[in-house]
Amino acid sequence: MADDRSDLELVRQFQAGDESAFNQLVLRYQEKVYWVARRFVTDHEGADDVTQEVFVKAYESLKEFRGDSSLYTWLYRIAVNLALNAVRKRKVREFFRMDEMYDVIDGGTEQPDEALERREERSLIEQAIERLPKKQKAVFLLRYYEEMPYEEIAKVLNTSIGGLKANYFHAVKKIQEYLQRAHGSR
Amino acid sequence: MRMDHVDSLLPDYLTGFLEEELRKGVDEHLRRCNRCRQQERSLREVLLRIAQEPSPIVPDGYFAALLPRIRARLEDRRAWRPSWTPVVARIGAPLAVAILIFAIALHLEFRYPSTQSESETNPLHLIAKEISAEELQRVLADQLSRQPLLETTVDPETIQQQVIRALAADLELSARSQSPSIIFGNGVSVSESLNELSEAELQTLLRLLEERSIL
């Protein structure tokens, strides 16, 4: 049966010690949070980890939640920050792993086809989105996939609303250019 | 309604999220502006392609099992925190980072002699020579984080390869492990060490990367 208590009611009940209210919030928002995370980090395992972390962080911080912004915006802000962090951490780790660079110096132990195949496991669109600058990527994912109003995006990203439409346009344009280049090089 | 070029309104126009009045304005503008019509056509194509992208697959039953897993993670954190958090967070983590950076810095001092060489013409090599090991780490990671900005003119992998080539003359390369890594001096491996960094240590490193902008 659907729970008709508002987000704020659930938060207040959780703050008063009702653990089941937190469960209800998780059930209400788990899919939304997962999909935000999935768009940012692209793989299921990474998105799963970010989703769990979002709710762990929410659990730890909800005691201080005063309702200045909506719970939805608040959770999205946590999700976007953790997802961006996860992406950056992965990039740093991948960089220092340097398996592909090693081949360049060593004369090449990996077959070119294998490297190409590994890159192409992910779609061109995912690759194009991954290469967007951080803010454009966030604006694109929240606007296109989450259909979030610009006012909410500004709150989630803790930025002013001015320029968000331009960020969105430039993101789409860069995706288009990336796809064009990718096709041109084939 | 008169408008200048309507670039920034086009994505919302094409996805149906533009308010009625603005939509009419864009319609009107597109009728008389060839440039924006072309822009609209190319964006329409890419948005259509994105829309046709299949949704990522989520394993069956994933959401049904998520709440218990979140609860289990919360329990793990609670069980772990009381004894470890204060020591690790306040003393252990900063100490470990300091030791790691100091060890790498110490060995890099010997790896970058001040003699002239032809490789010094490589700007990456120059940077590597003149900065500390701590900063070198930031430069390496910064290359990666900045790829989106550079990628229009240089292939991202080329950047990484340039960095490695520039440093290869000064650093030993090791293939001891399955995942090759750079070894500094007496065997301190950046790769292995980084993988062993705790969450707090990694966050510190990431924060440093954020603060720095080179190249």
- Give the Cα separation of B55 and A126 in Å (integer): 11
- My answer on whether A91 and A128 are in the same domain is no
- My answer on whether A18 and A72 are in the same domain is yes
- My answer on whether A88 and A171 are in the same domain is no
Instruction: Select, from the ranges A119-123, B54-58, B62-66, B97-101, the one with the highest average predicted confidence (pLDDT).
Output: B62-66
A94 interaction partners in chain B (CB closer than 8 Å): 144
CB B170 within 8 A of CB B163: no
How many CB pairs below 8 A link A and B? 141
- My answer on whether A88 and A13 are in the same domain is yes
- Give the Cα separation of B154 and B179 in Å (integer): 26
Q: Where are the domains of chain B?
A: 7-52, 88-211
The range of the structural domain enclosing residue A147 comes to 123-186
Three-state DSSP class for A96?
A: helix
Dihedral over Cα of A62, A67, A68, A73: its sign: positive
Within a domain: residue A169? yes
Within a domain: residue A117? no
Within a domain: residue A102? no
Within a domain: residue A105? no
- My answer on whether A17 and A68 are in the same domain is yes
- My answer on whether A6 and A87 are in the same domain is yes
CB A47 within 8 A of CB A55: no
B161 confidence band (pLDDT: 50, 70, 90): low
State the CATH number of the domain containing residue A3. Answer: 1.10.1740.10
Residues of chain A below pLDDT 50: 98-110, 112, 115-119
Domain count, chain A: 2
Does A105 contact chain B (CB < 8 Å)? Answer: yes
DSSP strand pairing (B172-174 vs B188-189): unpaired
Within a domain: residue A110? no
Residue of B nearest to A59 (CA): B74
Within a domain: residue A111? no
State the CATH number of the domain containing residue A130. Answer: 1.10.10.10
Lowest mean pLDDT among A109-113, A154-158, B22-26, B124-128: B124-128
Within a domain: residue A108? no
In the sheet that holds B172-174, the strands lie side by side as: B172-174, B181-184, B188-189
The reply to whether residue A92 touches residue B194, judged by beta carbons under 8 angstroms, is yes
